[in-house]
Each structure stands twice: as C-alpha cells, then as structure tokens.
Amino acid sequence: MKRRTFLARTGIGAAGVTALAGCSGGSSESLNGTLTVATYSSFTGEGTAGNWLKSAFESEHPDATVEFRTPESGINQFIQRKAEGAPIDADVFVGLNTGELVRADEELDDALFAATTDSVDGADSVKPSLNFDPDGRVIPYDTGYISLVYDEGAVDEPTTFDTLLEPGYEDALITQNAQQSDPGRAFLLWTIAAKGADGYLDYWQGLLDNGVRILSDWQPAYQAYTNEEAPMVVSYSTDQVYYHGEDVDMSRHQVGFLNDQGYANPEGMAQFADADNPELAREFMSFVLSEEAQSEIAVRNVQFPAVEGVEPGGDFGEYALEPPEPVTFSYDELAGNVEGWIDEWARQIASN
C-alpha cells in the first residue's frame, strides 16, 4: 500500500496471538533463525499489519525472529544489488505489485525471486483474479482499489473520466506522481485502460487544462485534500474504513468509481532467490495466507483480503467498498509497455 500507517482501532492481546498457534502448516520446533522481511515503511510500526504478523508468527515459532527492513527505494534497491552481484540480505519481500515485478524481470538477467507457489500452503486459495505472476513467484496477500474520494458538499459525484474535464470540476482534482507513487501509477494505468495507449496523453492534457494538481505521493496529496485545497483526491475505496464515526464529516469521504470501475492494485509477497532461510520464508508466507492473518491484514492495512472466503466483518465489512467492475493490467500487458507509458507521461504531463 505504501501510503499511510493505519493505527488499528481494534487491538489483539497476547491471548489472541497465542490462539493462532498451529494455524499454518509447519512445526514450531523445526523452524528457527532470523527471517528478514523487506517491505514499505507503513507496513511496520505500532498497530500495523507487519507488527501484528511479527508477534503472531514468533508466538507460533518461538525459535524464530522476524526482522523488518524498509529500504527507501523499495524493490529498486534489490534490483540494483542483484544487478551488481551484491548480497540481497533479505529473505522475503512484502509489497510487490505487477509493474514492479515487470521492471525486475526486464532489468535483470538472473531471477530475483524463487518460484514458491507450489510450496506455500494456502497459495491455491488466493482469488484467481489477483494472481499476477505467470511464473509462480509472487503470491498476493491483499488488494486495494484505486478510486476517487470526494466532498459531496462541494462537487457532484464524478461518474466518468470525461466528467473530470467539465468546467464544474476545474481545479477540483489532486492526484499523485506516477513515477514515485503507487496510487498515482495505478490511476495513470486506469486512465490508459479507459482511454487507450493512443489517447491517454491527450486525456491528461485535458486534466492539466482543467487544473489537476499532481503531488509527489499519497500522503501529501491526501493532506492537501484534508486541508480542503481541492474537493477530490485519488485514493482508495477503503477510505471510509479509516474515516468514519460520530466525529467525522462523512460527506467529505465519499467514494467515486469512474465508469463504475476501480483499478485493482494487488500487493504480493515473494521469497528472494538468494534467501538465507528459505524454509522459514515459505512458512511465513503460508502464515500470511491463514484466515486469521488475512483478516488482521485487511483491517490494519485497510485493504481487501486476497484469500477467498475471508470476511473481516466489523467496520471493515461495513465501510469497505468494492467497485462494480474492477479493472487492471496483467503482467503480459504491462511487460514492454509500462515504463514507456510512465516516461511519456512524465515528459509531457508531470513536467508541465
């Protein structure tokens, strides 16, 4: 998700963690050592999915320790180290999306990740629509849907992409830079899905002419929206899971699905091919796919579970919205295209 730290409104105590013992397939006596998990910063910290996973997994495997690393450049650091022949120094990467996998495969001659789908318990229970790696290396663990969040007191609900070009939506939209932001990149890809590779730049020129504001990443974009600098922002359809309650003005947290769609942006996990502790890595990945872990990840990471049949319930079940028609680009559709699309957009749109 790479966008915010979610301070969970519902905690789980030691008893709840202990109750998870035995929920995944391995033996706690047979697995030991340190598991190094590389991820993004908002996946770790107080109340986050990462810290819950660490506590619960270590409770089940008392001879194992989970350590998180959050490299500033994300997966790019490991692509560079692999290309240079330098040690990877991590066992698992958590938070990989389709475009990043494509980039790793296109830039490296040797495999960065190992094929593990057939050896990770629960991998076959992931929703088929979320699987994005044709080679069975990356296993989805959650997904978000990019949408618009808008203030219904300031603008009418935007219903189509062309709606955003109308005079009534002048200076109304804040989005993120597709070169460095996951939601920004997903929104760009969504516009390409809607307007085509031959038409998306013209569409973005229309957005520029109508006053769209492009900020670096989700956090500054959403902060500007919170400051009422504009009545719409590109964000996630789970917005109301985080923002609801008696003290919240829900009119400012309406979710808009352009063309009745939302762009699906699944996040995956993968074992590095050079992992020092591959057995522990696969056990951790199996644990992440357990029903208990999937529910906790959904609530704490404010994203939908990847495993079929998992229903978190509570506030998540009430406020998380799925688009009528999820859209996304497959690995094969992005391969050979995504970097060119982003580069063209950066030259003609982001630089203006």
CATH for 236: 3.40.190.10
Q: What are phi and psi of 172, to 5 degrees?
A: -100, -20
Is-contact 163 330, C-beta < 8 A? no
Domain co-membership, 116 together with 244? no
Domain co-membership, 84 together with 168? no
DSSP 122-173: TGGGB-GGG---TTS--EEEEEEEEEEEE-TTTSPPP-STGGGGSGGGTT-E
Domain co-membership, 219 together with 341? yes
Is residue 4, in this structure, part of any structural domain at all? no
Q: Please report the pLDDT score of residue 129 as a whole number.
A: 95
Domain co-membership, 192 together with 337? yes
Domain co-membership, 289 together with 211? no
Q: Is 217 exposed, middle or buried (0-12, 13-18, 19+ CB in 10 A)?
A: middle
Is residue 9, in this structure, part of any structural domain at all? no
Both tokens of residue 164?
């955003």
pLDDT in tens, 34-65: 999 999 999 999 999 999 999 999 999 999 99
Domain co-membership, 22 together with 43? yes
Q: Please report the pLDDT score of residue 351 as a whole number.
A: 87
Domain co-membership, 113 together with 253? no
With cut-offs at 50, 70 and 90, classify the pLDDT of residue 333. Answer: very high
Both tokens of residue 49?
């999915």
With cut-offs at 50, 70 and 90, classify the pLDDT of residue 6. Answer: very low
Both tokens of residue 115?
């094929």
Domain co-membership, 108 together with 26? yes
pLDDT in tens, 269-305: 999 999 999 999 999 999 999 999 999 999 999 999 9
- Residues 6 or more apart whose Cβ sits within 8 Å of residue 105: 335
| Least confident window among 18-22, 56-60, 62-66, 156-160 | 18-22
Q: Please report the pLDDT score of residue 30 as a whole number.
A: 59
Average pLDDT over residues 309-334: 96
Domain co-membership, 131 together with 27? yes
Average pLDDT along the chain: 92
Please tell me which residue, 18 or 336, carries the higher pLDDT value.
336
Furthest C-alpha separation in the chain: 65
**Best CA proximity match to 215, nearest among 229, 202, 201, 203:** 229
Domain co-membership, 165 together with 284? no
Domain co-membership, 314 together with 332? no
Question: By residue range, what is the domain housing residue 125?
Answer: 14-143+266-318
With cut-offs at 50, 70 and 90, classify the pLDDT of residue 19. Answer: very low
